[in-house]
Amino acid sequence: MPWQRLLETCDHLPAAAALDDWYVALHERLGETASPFELAVLGGRLAASPGLAFLAGYQGALRALWPSAPATLGALCVTENKSVRPADLQTRLDGLSLNGRKDFVTAADAADWLLVAARDEIPGNAPRVALVVVYRDTPGVRVETLPALPLMPDISHGRLHLDGAHCERLAGDGWDDYTKPFRTLEDVHVMAALSAWQYGIGVAHDWPHALRLQLLGLLAGCAEVARQPARSLVTHVLLGGLFAQQLALRAQIDAAFAAGPAELAAVWQRDSRLLDVASGARGKRLEKAQAQFA
């Protein structure tokens, strides 16, 4: 991670009318060689909102999961009827033909490629999940954009409809090799992106020096956790430490936003629950991991 670049950056990329335009501008700023973690941290530093910081972290996590990902915006599509359990998934893969529906797709109206979890076991056998990639302009792919959410309304979401869409299958097990580890990859990369955004706001608005240094320390911890295997129990414990650090800084961060511009404070108040998303499942993984080291 080029820490000097983080420290020297002193501006933000302006928000664009379309998320893919913002991401193109970010990609041009960072260059072709940025690692997934650099994409998360420097993207978060350059983001003009928590939502755009989240988007940078999310894209970094996707590339940590699938290093061969295209340079354009992508999304992972798992959820069906508010569930991600393999037994609840109805989307099916038949050869290289994909049929079904995914109910929550991040940046749905801007994603160029979509990683889709689909069942492919023989009927009557235990559920088995494959992960495939399908491109938005492929016949049989339709994205339905849904109304903005209260949290991060600048980041769109939608529903994916698949009707005999041709796809490419990724090697490995779609659940154990991709869907499960992505939860951890997303947690650490989004944590890094949001902490970098907070650090950038702190620099711009002269937050207390000690608070800015603490955020840098948290980012250094994120860098170490990002190097660990996503499925390791140790990684879950270390990740829990990162979230505990961010939580411990919350009162100082809230006070710093409250003392600054009212518009920025309102944005933070609206999106401050970003890191609480999926906290229940993350807590269960941490509890299970800690039990192994008791």
Structural domains of the chain, ranges and CATH numbers in brackets: 3-65+177-291 (no CATH), 74-169 (2.40.110.10)
Q: Long-range pairs for 122-128 at CB < 8 Å and ≥24 separation?
A: 127/86, 127/87, 127/89, 128/86, 128/173, 128/174, 128/175
pLDDT of 292 higher than 90: no
| 7 confidence band (pLDDT: 50, 70, 90) | confident
What is the DSSP-derived secondary structure letter of residue 13? Answer: P
Beta strand 113-119 pairing with 74-77: parallel
Question: 143 Cβ partners below 8 Å, 6+ apart?
Answer: 105, 108, 109, 111, 136, 158, 159, 160, 161
**Amino acid 9: pLDDT:** 80
Specify which residues 157 forms β-bridges with: 106
**Amino acid 212: pLDDT:** 98
pLDDT of 25 higher than 80: yes
Cα four-point dihedral sign 117, 118, 120, 126: positive
Three-point CA angle 45, 50, 53, nearest 5°: 45
Give yes or no for a contact between 116 and 98, defined as CB atoms under 8 angstroms apart: yes
**Amino acid 16: pLDDT:** 87
**Amino acid 124: pLDDT:** 83
Across all residues in the chain, what is the average pLDDT? 95
Of 113, 163, 108, nearest in space to 139 by CA: 163
Residue 289 vs residue 134, higher pLDDT: 134
**Amino acid 192: pLDDT:** 98
Predicted TM-score (pTM) of the model is 0.96
The pLDDT of 5-30, averaged and rounded, is 90
**Amino acid 277: pLDDT:** 87
> Over 120-155, what HEC string results?
CCCCCCCCCEEEEEEECCCCCEEEEECCCCCCCCCC
